[in-house]
Amino acid sequence: MRIRPIARGDLDGLQALSRQTGVGFTSLPDNREFLASKIESAARAFEERTPVDDRLYFFVLEDEDSGELAGCCAIEAQVGREVPFYHYRLGTLAHSSVQLDLHRTIDTLFLSSDHTGDAEVASLFLRPEYRGADRRHERNGALLSKARWLFMAQFRDRFPDKVLAEMRGVFNEEGVSPFWENLGSHFFPLNFNQADRLTGLGQKSFIGELMPKFPIYTTFLSKEAQACIGEVHEHTRPALEMLKKEGLRWEGYIDIFDAGPTVEAYIDDVRAVRNSTLCQVEVSAELATEAGGKNEGESGERPEWLVSTTAMVGFCACWVGRGPEGEVITLSETEARRLGVGAGDTVRVLST
């Protein structure tokens, strides 16, 4: 399994992925034209033919055995440049009067575009066939999530100071967001999925046009809606934990539709960015036989070391069976082939 930039020949594979993502994954609609343009713009981003603030780096997880796409992930170089990017910022207003013996704080939601210009890690999807209990040891989800940090560390100058990730908010058994029902539905003549789909398609201007401009006192929302603020959907909890381990934190920003938290960090502070190092490649024919010709990292052992190449076009990342010794990392022939590197090349290595 390896991560690589999406390529112009991946349209069928991407469409197959989009059909599996389902409701709630709005950035990959099953729309061939849209997907084709997404691929084209991603390809141009990796070729550095688009401005540095207007790039979507879209990656796929490829199963080289079958040639199938197992998943995808993306980095938006800077959000909010083409279309506005909104959050609610959860703020606190003191509400106090000595004479009335009153001292309370009131939570308020302020519409904000504070994250304009930040990078975003997004669109992570792993097909169910690659993530069941029997394949957990392969760490495909972690590969998708962490490869992006290696990419950002390698091309640090292409990214701004901060990075964020939006987490899916709470939905009840009927698939309804209590936060949306209590707030957004008063202002939008759409249901949640329609509104969410439009934002997924990048058509966000309606938000600024229809959303309340004044702060919302959360005390006016129902208890259920208030309970959604900053809380994630239970399926999103593992992804949130992974990001937290990298050092991303919730600073009070939430999604304006479902109130899910946005976590953020300075890119230089992200654990994987800070800890990854550059190493020289050595290739050993003996290692391949040791692993019995089976793909390393898929041999039943939980892989620990993540390696990526250092070129933007043809960027590649995968798990390897061992860490570096000094500034040298020894790869098996299979691993070297998978990454497209040879002895003497430089790679980026991360212990996870």
Partner 1 sequence: MLVVRPARSADLPALERLAGTATPRLTNLPAHRDRLEERITRSQRSFGRAVDFPGDEHYTFVLEDRERGEVVGTATIRAQAGAVDAYYTYRQETLIHASQQLNVRREVQTLSLSHEVSEASLLCALSLDPRYKGTSAESLLRRARLMFIAQYPERFADLLAVAFPGFLDEAGESPFWASVGEHFFQRGYQEINHIAGVRSKSFIAEVMPQFPLYLPLLTPPARAAIGREHPDHEVALEEMLAEGFVRSRHVDIFDAGPVIKGERDRLETFRRASWHPVRIRPASSLPDAEPAMIANQKLGEFRCVVARYALSPTGQLMLSPEHAEILGVEEGRAVLAAPLALPDAIDALDEGEL
The residues of the shown chain that bind partner 1, judged by CB under 8 A, are 93, 95-97, 99-100, 102, 104, 106, 108, 183, 186-187, 189-190, 198, 203, 205-206, 209-217, 219-221
In angstroms, give the least distance from the CB of 184 to partner 1.
11
Cβ proximity to partner 1, 6 vs 183, nearer residue: 183
Cβ proximity to partner 1, 65 vs 213, nearer residue: 213
Beta strands in 98-241 (DSSP E): 102-112, 119-126, 162-166, 216-217
In angstroms, give the least distance from the CB of 351 to partner 1.
47
Q: Checking phi first, is residue 340 left (phi over 0); if not, alpha (psi -120 to 50) or beta?
A: left
Q: Is 196 helix (H, G, I), strand (E, B) or coil?
A: helix
In angstroms, give the least distance from the CB of 164 to partner 1.
25
225 phi, psi to nearest 5 deg = -70, -40
170-to-178, 229, 340, 351 alpha-carbon distances in Å:
8, 9, 42, 33
* Count, residues in the chain: 352
**Which structure tokens are listed for 336?**
């070297």
- Amino acid identity of residue 151, one-letter, is F
Catalytic residues: 233
Cβ proximity to partner 1, 96 vs 277, nearer residue: 96
In angstroms, give the least distance from the CB of 73 to partner 1.
29
In angstroms, give the least distance from the CB of 228 to partner 1.
15
d(CA 41, CA 6): 10
Q: Strand 317-320 relative to strand 119-126: parallel, antiparallel, unpaired?
A: unpaired
Matching residue, tokens 């709005």: 26
d(CA 28, CA 292): 38
Cβ proximity to partner 1, 141 vs 184, nearer residue: 184
Cβ proximity to partner 1, 89 vs 148, nearer residue: 89
